[in-house]
Homo-oligomer: A and B are copies of this chain.
Amino acid sequence: MNNAYERLKPYLERAMAFQSAKILFEWDNETLAPREAEKNTTRVVGILSGEYFNVVTDPQVKELVRQCKEETDSLTQVENAVVRELAKETEKLECIPKEEYRQFAELTARATGIWARAKKDNDFDSFAPVLKEIVEYTKKFASYRAKEGQRLYDVMLEDYEKGFDVKTLDRFFQTLKDQLVPFLKKLRDSGVEIDNSFLTGDYKEADQEAIGRFFAEYVGFDFDRGVMAVSAHPFTTNLHNKDVRITTSYNDHVDDSLFSVIHESGHALYELGIPDELTQTLVGQGTSMGMHESQSRFFENIIGRNENFWIPVYEKLQDQFPDQLGSVTLKQFVRGINKVEPSLIRTQADELTYSLHVLIRYEIEKMLIEDQLKVEELPKIWADKYEEYLGVRPQCVSEGVLQDIHWSQGSFGYFPSYALGSAFGAQLYHDMKGKMDFEGLLRKGDIKTIGEYLKEHIHKYGKLKTSRQILKDVTGEDFDPQYYIDYLTEKYGKLYGVEAD
């Protein structure tokens, strides 16, 4: 037993409790809290953030961390990792004046409500002032932490995916663009028309919820350790490994809620797979946003849009919606949910064009943070880029720049993780196919075996390994986006009867 670490424990506990309380308030705010609660509740969240800040930047904590780092041999692997994460957090926060940190927490607590209303009212102007403030804070905070000559956007990217800076991501997105854009053109020129009209219709909310719960459970979500609710924008949050929560929203496109539930379940399985030893510690969460998205997008697309997945359960879906799907065959359904069609909304995008949605956000964020763009110009550049890359132009901000919650939460640098995660997932898929009868498992309805592989190789490590390390340890190779390109071109080449280059 290490004395310095023992003395660190009460600080770690308090930091954990304040974070947990903040998480619960955020969850509550986005799923339940009444409209007018915002201002008063924001005060509470601000104070809790301040308390968290106080603990993490406490000089005594810094001293104990220093001592722990000198005695790594007497600490367990987990303890050393906790100390490492704590040091990172201290370093990140101690350069921010406490009052600014608290103001920012209050600002973002307030901003998600403003964003949600602005989106509902299709009114960018009501969100612009608060977004401007958020951008300024985010840049200021990044500037406090930036090393000499470091780009501010790189500071932000590092928070979500260690080792993926602007230079790396420019190259990554360039690869995707170079190979997927011409491939997409081929698909569109193929003349193949896929019908997915049956996915839109009078799908009752209660029925969508019932089938959503079924599929969450089917892919492994455990309702004894989790909750499913409704929010403007689907998300997953967790208090610990026995309380993981997903949300979805309902409209007349049944695939929206269906695949967002499967997507969020993928996130949730990651957090449910954290061992008891790690939960409620600083290393008791998914290791990075990219690795998180690799899990969610793996479940949503590689599993969820796979014909073999639907073989044992399509009848169940038909039974829930006999009028809408009774006469749609399994083949037709699977083709429908894989239809490639450039569209406006990221969360509803098909698997292939999805990364172009992310590319747009990446380019815009970079410009916004690097002062090449004003907040007021967002709706126009957003629309322009959609027109340029995807050939569709949003007619209103609700379907354009206001569609995502991220910026209202101060999450800049998050979006690239979605594309990275998809690429991680494809690399993992390639590995799994060599190690198990993946398609056979899906056909048998045995998602459990796949879930156990993910738990064993990814989930159980929490933050003990980086995403890059995990990929290497599992697949024996460094990250390689080519698996993603190959997966997409093979799958969609077959569907549309075209060859990749």
Report if A223 contacts B (CB, 8 A): yes
A33-B227 contact given A14-B51, A21-B48, A242-B39, CB 8 Å threshold:
yes
This protein's copies in its complex: 2
Whether B243 pairs with A13 at a CB distance below 8 angstroms is: no
Instruction: Select which of B14, B32, B38, B226 is within 8 A of A34 by beta carbon.
Output: B226
Task: Report B-chain residues with C-beta under 8 Å of the C-beta of A39.
Answer: 242
A91 CA / B460 CA spacing, docked (Å): 47
Instruction: Select which of B25, B34, B280 is within 8 A of A43 by beta carbon.
Output: B280
Question: Of residues 231 to 270 in A, which have CB atoms within 8 Å of B's CB atoms?
Answer: 239-243
Task: Report B-chain residues with C-beta under 8 Å of the C-beta of A47.
Answer: 13-14, 16-17
A25 CA / B37 CA spacing, docked (Å): 17
A38 CA / B242 CA spacing, docked (Å): 8
Question: Of residues 3 to 52 in A, which have CB atoms within 8 Å of B's CB atoms?
Answer: 13-14, 16-17, 20-21, 24-25, 28, 32-41, 43-44, 47-48, 51
A442 CA / B240 CA spacing, docked (Å): 50
A35 CA / B223 CA spacing, docked (Å): 8
Report if A224 contacts B (CB, 8 A): yes
A17-B243 contact given A28-B28, A43-B280, CB 8 Å threshold:
no
Q: Residue on B with the closest CB to A37?
A: B243
How many whole Å from A280's CB to the nearest CB in chain B?
Answer: 6
A17-B242 contact given A225-B36, A227-B33, CB 8 Å threshold:
no
Q: Count chain A residues whose beta carbon lies closer than 8 angstroms to a beta carbon of B.
A: 37
Instruction: Select which of B37, B224, B239 is within 8 A of A240 by beta carbon.
Output: B37
Whether A17 pairs with B48 at a CB distance below 8 angstroms is: yes
Report if A279 contacts B (CB, 8 A): yes
Whether A224 pairs with B34 at a CB distance below 8 angstroms is: yes
Whether A28 pairs with B24 at a CB distance below 8 angstroms is: yes
Give chain A's interface secondary structure class: helix
Whether A224 pairs with B44 at a CB distance below 8 angstroms is: no
Whether B280 pairs with A37 at a CB distance below 8 angstroms is: no
A229 CA / B33 CA spacing, docked (Å): 11
Q: Residue on B with the closest CB to A39?
A: B242
A 41-71 binary contact with B (CB < 8 Å = 1; else 0): 1011001100100000000000000000000
A43 CA / B35 CA spacing, docked (Å): 30
A240-B40 contact given A14-B51, A34-B227, CB 8 Å threshold:
yes
Task: Report B-chain residues with C-beta under 8 Å of the C-beta of A37.
Answer: 225, 239-240, 242-243
Pairs across A and B, CB under 8 Å, 27 listed: A13-B43, A13-B47, A20-B41, A21-B25, A32-B229, A34-B225, A34-B226, A34-B227, A35-B224, A35-B225, A36-B224, A36-B242, A37-B225, A37-B239, A37-B240, A37-B242, A37-B243, A38-B242, A39-B242, A40-B239, A40-B241, A40-B279, A40-B280, A41-B239, A41-B240, A43-B280, A44-B280
Q: Which 5 pairs from chain A and chain B are nearest by CB?
A: A37-B243, A17-B47, A21-B21, A40-B240, A36-B242
- 19 more contacts with CB within 8 A, not counting A40-B280, A41-B239, are A14-B47, A14-B51, A16-B44, A16-B47, A17-B47, A21-B21, A21-B48, A24-B25, A24-B28, A28-B28, A32-B227, A33-B227, A34-B225, A34-B226, A34-B242, A37-B240, A37-B243, A41-B243, A44-B239
